[in-house]
Each structure stands twice: as C-alpha cells, then as structure tokens.
C-alpha cells in the first residue's frame, strides 16, 4: 500500500507541475502581455491555455488526494 500511495502522490505532483506553466501563460494572456496582438486575441489565447491547463491540475489534485487517503487507511 505504501508503494501505491507513493505512485499516486508522484503522479499527482507531476501532473500539477505540468499544468503550472500553462496556467502561468494563461494569466499573461488575460493581462494582455502574452503576444503583440489585440486584447481579444490575448484573452482568447488565455482561455485556450486555461482549458488546456485545468484538466492536469484537477487530475493531479485527485491523484494526490487518493494517494493520501490510501496512506491514511493502510
């Protein structure tokens, strides 16, 4: 069980780390400094990056939570 919880925690942490740059670029898009284009294009790029960055973040949180639950109830 300890190995399973470690694998789940590692997978969750890696998944959350993958989503951080995408969400960081999304913030830059919403601030209007992502590209040298108009405001609407920056917002559109920001929304696309949020939609790409949220699934790994949510999956990472779920994997970490399951890993902690497995570690707690072993």
Provide the token pair at 32. 């209007």
Map 4-38 to HEC letters.
Answer: HHHHHHHHHHHHHHHHHHHHHHHHHHHHCCCCCCC
pLDDT per residue as tens digits for the range 17-66 = 999 999 999 999 999 888 888 888 999 999 999 999 999 999 999 999 99
The answer to whether 67 and 8 are in contact (CB under 8 A) is yes
- pLDDT for res 62: 97
Task: Give residue 12's domain range.
Answer: 2-72
| Dihedral pair phi/psi, residue 64, rounded to 5° | -65, -40
The count of domains in the chain is: 1
- In this predicted structure, the answer to whether residue 13 has a pLDDT above a threshold of 90 is yes
Q: What is the pLDDT of residue 44?
A: 92
Question: What's 41's DSSP letter?
Answer: H
Tell me: pLDDT of 11 over 80: yes
Residue 21 has a CB neighbour count (10 Å cut-off) of 11
């Amino acid at each position: 069980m300890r190995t399973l919880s470690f694998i789940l925690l590692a997978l969750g942490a890696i998944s959350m780390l993958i989503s951080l740059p995408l969400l960081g670029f999304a913030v830059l898009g919403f601030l209007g400094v992502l590209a040298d284009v108009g405001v609407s294009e920056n917002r559109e790029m920001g929304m696309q990056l949020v939609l790409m960055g949220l699934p790994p973040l949510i999956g990472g949180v779920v994997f970490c939570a399951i890993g902690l639950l497995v570690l707690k109830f072993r």
